[in-house]
Structure 1
Amino acid sequence: MIAAEVFDRHRGRLNAVAYRVLGRVGDVEDVVQDTWLRWSTVDPATVEDPEAYLVRVTTRLAIDRLRSAQARREHYVGPWLPEPMLTTPDVAERVALADSVSTAMLLVLESLSPLERAVFVLREAFGYSHAEIAGFVGKSEISVRQTAVRARAHVEAHRVRYDTDLATRTEVTERFLAACAGGDLRELIAVLAPGVELVSDGGGLAPAPRKVIVGLELVARALLTFAGRLPDAPSIRLEQVNGGPAIVVYSAGTPSTAVVLHLVDGLVQSIHLMTNPTKLNGLTA
């Protein structure tokens, strides 16, 4: 089998690993392309396990890219959110897989070191053994076990258990959208939790609050103000984004805003609002 065929067979897995490690669609494309360039110089017949080889290369490239990205984020304007990405409906139906790619989980993973994040992703999202991961990251199996335990404990301590029922999330997202579109403050407050928070990422390139907003009234009024400033004749759709329903606003066919809601007990606890135009490429079908 030729190199391109082998690579294409594993491309989906490589994209999935790189995205969960990096949280940036553009970086994922670069890492997978670099993996291909390295693979194209290898005779596939000499590689006993092509998947292991490709995942190892992708993981190490992603770790290096993440270290560089974290240094750049120290100068980022306002809150930073992972880049949203369109996903297929079947991802949303598989709860464990959807959770591993949710913007809430990706945000928690930001607090891990690049190595911890890679080990956590490979172990928890893809089920690789500690021995396999050791080969991927170039560490001993004992070291990987310790890193995996440390990373999992950190994630468990910082994550919020958001609602996963797809029907409930879709219903609340639709009610949220209707209230914002209609400028109905009362209806909007009805779907928000008392301690709701709004995290907006404009990156200094698009209108967005540069601090997290917390509380029913403040969040609701900020949302209605934002909705009133949308471009003329926008196209607003419910899309499957990061394993669940999300609101995506398109202007002249180009995504300009993405809103992802995270629910607790049927109410919106956290809102991720993305307007940075450089981080919306993953929403282009």
Structure 2
Amino acid sequence: MPLATPVRPDGLADFLEVRERLLAIAHRIAGRHVDAEDIVQEAWLRWQRVDRSLVNSPPAFLSLTTSRLAISAIRSARYRSSVAPGDWLENVPARGDGPARLAERADDVRAAIEVVATVLTPCEQVTYLLREAFGLPYRQIGAALGRTEPHARQLAYRARLRLAAPRGSTPSTGTPAHRARLLSAFVAAARTGDTAALVALAG
């Protein structure tokens, strides 16, 4: 009697087709291979739970999901045993923190900003941070940048696509001086709520 062919989990073929690409995305953002493996595993679990009949492009969906999970890992410092999970803003150095805690929190924020500043254009950087870190509505972001609400949405969408793109497919942007200014403006905005200096970096 012939052996039955093992039945693959639904959606596995689509996932395996882009798995190496997903690992590259996660590794570029998270910085460590072991973290990238965990992130891609989580992306697989998300893929199993989603209604795939509503997904027009499995590669695009999986790439965006992996990118968001990787950025979330940086934001929450999930893989740093010395730092409790939390939002980016929770990791912004506070005046009352001791020297060690200041260093830990600053390192978490710096790692996230480094990814954003390296991959995105200045306008995309500011749009993405205002939306993802501060949760501002697109209408307000557009007004701050002197653009329409649909344009602000497009900038945020383009930023997410760039972050999800395979390594090397998008040019590195920004100088070390610009990245330092972006980090400083972001931290200041998180502490005070005043995003003017951050918006000014959009160019």
TM-score (norm: length of structure 1): 0.31
Write 1 or 2 for the structure with the bigger share of strand: 1
Larger helix fraction of residues: 2
TM-score (norm 2): 0.42
Larger CA Rg, structure 1 vs 2: 1
